[in-house]
Amino acid sequence: MKGKKGMVALGVLLAVFLSGAFAQAAEPIKIGAILSVTGPASFLGSPEAKTLEILVQDTNAKGGVLGHKVELIIKDSGGNPEKAFSFAKQLIDEEKVFAIIGPSTSGETMKIKGVAEGGKTILLSCAAAEAIVNPVAKWVFKTPQKDSDAVIKIFQQMKKMKISRIGVLSGNTGFGNAGKGQIEKLAPEHGITIAANEVYDAKASDLTAEVTKIKAANVQALINWSIVPAQAIVIKNARQIGLTIPIFQSHGFGNIKYVQAAGAAAEGVLFPAGRLLVADVLPKNNPQKALLVKYANDYQSKYKEEASTFGGHAYDAYTILIKAIENAKSTDKEAVRTAIENLKGFVGTGGIFNFSPTDHNGLNVDAFEMLTVKNGKFAIYK
């Protein structure tokens, strides 16, 4: 008899305890990520996925955001826009995610822009093209700096160096094409004449003839806009044929591995990039310094490889989202979306973000620093 009473009491106690526990553990916030972890754009997607994993662990270890744990669902698109499209539908319709981070490439992002809009789901893209946020779409944001700003940064530098006649080389990829378009569009207003403008195969193994054409055009500087390995080959071939003019590369050059691949030829190359690459040598009063050093160290100690600016784009996407949830004090999608739009002075790896209803990127040309290669390392160009 006594024993039975005890059992009941225990059961009641247990029920009270459990119901209390349930009331406290709020629903997790589901965040979807569509990243090209494998495939040709894996140099973007792989550090992005690794970065998100660190960040989610971090948030959950601190007890989550507004009491909600974060649940991360990573989908590997392999850089394929069709896959990205079906993942986006799946994440929104079936998983009912709160927000999507990614995709890694511009082509994929453009493909799913409409899906995010239709599904009223926040999309924080990690891709570069300006077209993602211009024209502005209500639910779509992006964290990397715009390619147009990279071009403007280069032209500003050229003005300082009194360069007005240039040659342009670009790879025949989406990235190369977009950059070439921006260079052509922005050159006239910066007083730059493009005397030679050539597109080459991104898989080319030697570009001696192409740089010879640049040399023959008698220009003051060369801009090359391509991805690996061509951007390492082009500077090597240029130096070999005795082309001594300044060489500018796109912000895609921001990975120390390409510098190592190019060896001595990389010395003195100029390119605009976010400040992550030079976190160690930034002046102490730089607002980004502490954050950049911490991110770079966390990433390196966990994955035993150097952090790249690309992982930084995912870092910014995630931290902006969490900050917006905190600011909105709510997990209502609409409220959080508005909170992102009103986020000002947010310090990220890519720069200081100032969003507004008309600017869903929040960065301007100051997010870029003009970098160069000195003794095989990245340095701030002075």
Partner 1 sequence: MEFFFQYLVAGITYGTIYAIVAIGFNIIYNATGIINFAQGEFVMLGGMTAVTLNGFLPLPLAIVLAVVVTTIVGAVIEILFIRWLYKPSVLRMVIITIGVSILIREIALHIWGENVRALPYFTGSSVSSINLGGVYISSQVLWVIGVGALAVAALTAFFNLTMLGRQMRACAANRDAARLCGIDAGNMVTLSFMISAAIGAIGGAVVCPITYVQYDSGTPLAIKGFTVAILGGLGNSTAAVGAGMILGILESFSIWVLPTAYKEAISIAILLGILFVKPSGIFGSAEAARLKEF
Nearer to partner 1, 202 or 320 (CB): 202
Helix (H, G, I), strand (E, B) or coil at 272: strand
Nearer to partner 1, 25 or 264 (CB): 264
Residues 268-287 that bind partner 1 (CB under 8 A): none
> Could you tell me which residues come within 8 angstroms of residue 31 by beta carbon, excluding any fewer than 6 positions away?
56, 70, 71, 72, 73, 97, 98, 99, 100, 101, 318, 321
Q: Are 376 and 259 in contact (CB under 8 A)?
A: yes
User: Which listed range, 1-9, 39-47, 290-298, 350-358, lies at the site for partner 1 (CB under 8 A)?
Assistant: 39-47
Q: Does 228 bind partner 1 (CB under 8 A)?
A: yes
Q: Does 263 bind partner 1 (CB under 8 A)?
A: yes
Residue 200 to residue 221: CA distance in whole angstroms: 18
Residue 185 to residue 299: CA distance in whole angstroms: 38
- Kindly tell me which residue out of 241, 281, 290, 379 binds partner 1, with binding defined by CB under 8 A: 241
Q: Does 43 bind partner 1 (CB under 8 A)?
A: yes
Q: Are 178 and 129 in contact (CB under 8 A)?
A: yes
User: Which listed range, 10-18, 90-98, 123-131, 232-240, lies at the site for partner 1 (CB under 8 A)?
Assistant: 232-240
Q: CB of 351: closest distance to partner 1 in angstroms?
A: 27
3-state secondary structure 286-349: CCCHHHHHHHHHHHHHHHCCCCCHHHHHHHHHHHHHHHHHHHHCCCCHHHHHHHHHCCCCEECC
Q: Does 377 bind partner 1 (CB under 8 A)?
A: no
Nearer to partner 1, 228 or 347 (CB): 228
141-170 residues labelled b (16+ CB within 10 A) or e (exposed): bbbbbbbbbbbbbbbebbeeeebbebbbbb
Total binding residues for partner 1 by CB under 8 A? 36
Q: Does 242 bind partner 1 (CB under 8 A)?
A: yes
DSSP for 83-103, written as a single string: HHHHHHHHHHHTS--SEEE--
Structure token digits, residue 67: 């009491």
Nearer to partner 1, 163 or 230 (CB): 230
Residue 109 to residue 123: CA distance in whole angstroms: 9
User: Which listed range, 27-35, 36-44, 71-79, 271-279, lies at the site for partner 1 (CB under 8 A)?
Assistant: 36-44
Residue 380 to residue 371: CA distance in whole angstroms: 5
Residues 176-215 that bind partner 1 (CB under 8 A): 198-201, 203-206, 208-210, 212-213, 215
Nearer to partner 1, 106 or 237 (CB): 237
Q: Does 42 bind partner 1 (CB under 8 A)?
A: yes
Q: Does 245 bind partner 1 (CB under 8 A)?
A: no
Strands 165-171 and 140-142: unpaired
Q: Does 82 bind partner 1 (CB under 8 A)?
A: no
- Kindly tell me which residue out of 164, 172, 338, 364 binds partner 1, with binding defined by CB under 8 A: 172
Q: CB of 211: closest distance to partner 1 in angstroms?
A: 9
> Could you tell me which residues come within 8 angstroms of residue 327 by beta carbon, excluding any fewer than 6 positions away?
339, 342, 343
Residues 299-358 that bind partner 1 (CB under 8 A): none
Interface with partner 1 by CB under 8 A: which residues? 40, 42-43, 172, 198-201, 203-206, 208-210, 212-213, 215-216, 228-229, 232-233, 236, 239-242, 257-258, 261-265, 267
